[in-house]
A and B are shown apart, each in its own frame.
Chain A
Amino acid sequence: MAYKKFLAAADNHGGLVCKASKKKLLEFADVWKPHHRIHLGDNWDLSPLRRGASSEERADGISDDYQCGLEFLDAFRPNFLTLGNHDDRLWQHSTSCSDGMLREHCAKLAQASEDEFKKRKIAWVPYHVSKYLQMPEGGPKLIHGFRATMYPAKATFENWGPSICGHVHKPDVFTARHIDGQASFTVGCLADIDALSYADRTPAKLAWRNGWLYGIINDKSGAWQAWHVIREGNTWISPMGIL
């Protein structure tokens, strides 16, 4: 019986990535040497494709954002990717944009992105409540996340059971009152929190932190445990100490 190591990161938001957090994560990955690398989505921000985007936002274009997202995938080298609601803007526009020309170009870039995932041997799922990934040993469901409440890990457990997700940008844990044990985690984000200005008037933003999650999973039983690394000020704190 042996334990395998995993590392989960989320919400770098393309061009809005926090460069210091990305660097810390990659340094941590070099030391932790995980068997499984998990990206929990919002790899891109894609604000020009937001419904109701202003013409200024559209004029910003998506090249830089897209390039930064791909660079993140190349640096972090995830084996698993659960697309987020921000990534999903591209796939949504591919099918439901009323502007025919935009729809067609989004469909091409969505297809090209799927080819990029394939080239990098990344197992991925679209942003959909019924889609999730799991490590080969079993363990938690891997999802981007849908529930934004005061207690997101508890809310996620309610719908998906044992799980690890991103989306809420807040490190959170729910330990189940259940005979089988189990838990849910939501992971901090890797974006520059100040740059995510769409949430500037939302008190939930006060709980956002930069960070990631690392853990171990039993290769026979699928039993697992995980720990947050959370940035407070300019210090990244892990249960093992200061990074």
Chain B
Amino acid sequence: MKKKTTAAINSLEYALSQLSTAQKREDEFTIDEFIQSLAAKGEWITASSTTSRLNTLLTKGLLTRPDSAGA
């Protein structure tokens, strides 16, 4: 197996373990959860517009957990 392949497996393995086991703090959430919460409300946005939306909310101090009011 090429070194590049081993490195790619290891980092994908890490990403998967983060998704499944990482303990989140009370107000922590993933971008994926943010997108899903908007989708659940019928709003579909791309990954790049999600990033700018999160930045805007953050600078305005409006960022809260997606499942709580206001996100």
B partners with A: yes
Binding site for B on A (CB under 8 A): 48, 55-56, 58-59, 61-63, 66-67, 70, 98-102, 105-106, 108-109, 111-113, 115-116, 119
Taking a contact as CB atoms under 8 Å apart, the answer to whether A98 and B32 are in contact is yes
Taking a contact as CB atoms under 8 Å apart, the answer to whether A105 and B15 are in contact is yes
Taking a contact as CB atoms under 8 Å apart, the answer to whether B20 and A56 are in contact is yes
The reply to whether the CB of B21 lies closer than 8 angstroms to some CB of chain A is yes
Provide 30 A-B residue pairs closer than 8 Å at the C-beta atoms, listed in order of the A residue. Answer: A56-B20, A58-B16, A58-B19, A59-B21, A61-B17, A62-B9, A62-B13, A62-B16, A63-B9, A66-B9, A98-B31, A98-B32, A98-B47, A99-B15, A99-B30, A99-B32, A100-B47, A102-B15, A105-B8, A105-B11, A105-B12, A108-B8, A108-B11, A109-B9, A109-B12, A112-B2, A112-B5, A112-B8, A116-B1, A119-B2
Given contacts A98-B35, A105-B12, A106-B12, contact A59 B17 (CB under 8 A): yes
Taking a contact as CB atoms under 8 Å apart, the answer to whether B17 and A115 are in contact is no
Select one of B2, B7, B11, B15 contacting A116, CB under 8 A. B2
Given contacts A102-B15, A105-B12, contact A115 B4 (CB under 8 A): yes
* Contact string against A for B residues 14-54, beta-carbon threshold 8 Å, 1 for contact and 0 otherwise: 01111111000000001110011000000000010000000
Select one of A102, A106, A113 contacting B19, CB under 8 A. A102
The interface residues of chain A, by DSSP majority, are classed as helix
Give the CA-CA distance A113 to B21 in the complex, in Å: 27
- B36: chain A residues at CB < 8 Å are 98
Give the CA-CA distance A61 to B13 in the complex, in Å: 6
Taking a contact as CB atoms under 8 Å apart, the answer to whether B21 and A55 are in contact is yes
- A62: chain B residues at CB < 8 Å are 9, 12-13, 16
- B1: chain A residues at CB < 8 Å are 67, 70, 116
